[in-house]
Amino acid sequence: MDTIKSKALSIFSMGEGIIKEEEFEKVMEELTNYNGVYCVGTRMNGLVAIHKRS
């Protein structure tokens, strides 16, 4: 499994995650394959926090 898919699956299963800003678009695109609404939290120092809305 590639890194983008594994990060998206981790965010889906755990409900939150932190990724590198340059991976943001690809991870969000991959998350469209899973049910749920995802919000972008803080962007800081090249990192982005994403969490799943309940």
Q: What's the Rg (C-alpha) of the chain?
A: 10
Write out residues in the chain with pLDDT < 70, as ranges.
Answer: 1
Residue 35 is predicted with a pLDDT of 85
* The pLDDT value given to residue 1: 57
- Quote the pTM value: 0.84
* Dihedral (CA of 16, 20, 23, 25) sign: positive
The whole-number pLDDT of residue 2 equals: 84
Give the position of tokens 């983008």: 4
- For residue 52, the model assigns a pLDDT of 92
Structural domain for 11, as ranges: 3-53
- Number of domains observed in the structure of the chain: 1
Q: How far apart are CA 30 and CA 20, in angstroms?
A: 15
Contact 1, 30 (CB under 8 A): no
Sequence-separated (6 or more) residues with CB below 8 Å from residue 1 = 9
